[in-house]
Amino acid sequence: MSNEAAPAIRYAYKASLIGAAHRFELTEQGLSWRIAGKSGMWPYADIATVRLSYRPVSMQSRRFRADIGNADGARIAILSTSWQTAALMAPQDRDYRAFVTQLHARMAGAGSRAVLVGGLGPRVYVAAIVCVTLVGIAMAGLFGRSIATGEWAGALFLVGFTALFAWQVGGFVMRNRPLAYTFDRLPKALLP
């Protein structure tokens, strides 16, 4: 067994065009962070919750988020994308995945008893399923009406819109299904 200290792992992203980057570092002592002029160090054993989720936005369809809470109730968010310009949000998939994976490994090594969850909260997820179901029923009704009245262009539009809706919203809902996971089995759908 080596007596060498594990190297520090760093990750940074810009949450907005204005302001400094949010900076994080995994050190021997714990998770070190610097956000908007504030900074702190959370020992790995003091991290109480980690929630991984898939959170696409208009500028970046592949955006992931880790919400981390400590025993005192404070929370920080780590995003997988960084603002570059007013119209460009760059993915940082490899660095984000490495940081989140190493955070879990170090928490496990410190004997953390954190609650590890993925996706949306159960209530929000049920509300999303209800909304998707209502939209699906409305779309089916409109499609039936357009076929019955011979509005073929309207029916074709509805087919296209339904395909786009299923691809965008369906992917979001499927990836964000509420789940609990363990340190050794991180949810693949919630990491880039």
The model's pTM is 0.83
Residue 3's pLDDT band (cuts 50, 70, 90): very low
d(CA 16, CA 89): 9
Q: Check whether 31 has a pLDDT greater than 70.
A: yes
Domain locations along the chain: 9-119+178-190, 122-172
Residue whose token pair is 């490495």: 98
pLDDT at 60: 66
Q: Is 9-119+178-190 a domain of CATH 2.30.29.30?
A: yes
Per-residue model confidence as pLDDT tens digits over 77-136: 999 988 877 667 788 899 999 999 999 999 999 999 999 999 999 999 999 999 999 999
- 3-class state of residue 13 by DSSP: strand
Mutual angle of helices 152-165 and 122-148, in 10-degree steps: 160
Which amino acid would we find at residue 182?
A: T
Strand partners, 25: 10, 32
Q: Check whether 22 has a pLDDT greater than 50.
A: yes
The phi, psi pair for 9, rounded to 5°, reads: -110, 130
Residue whose token pair is 């603002």: 83
Nearest residue to 176 (alpha-carbon basis) of 161, 191, 165: 191
Q: Check whether 17 has a pLDDT greater than 90.
A: no
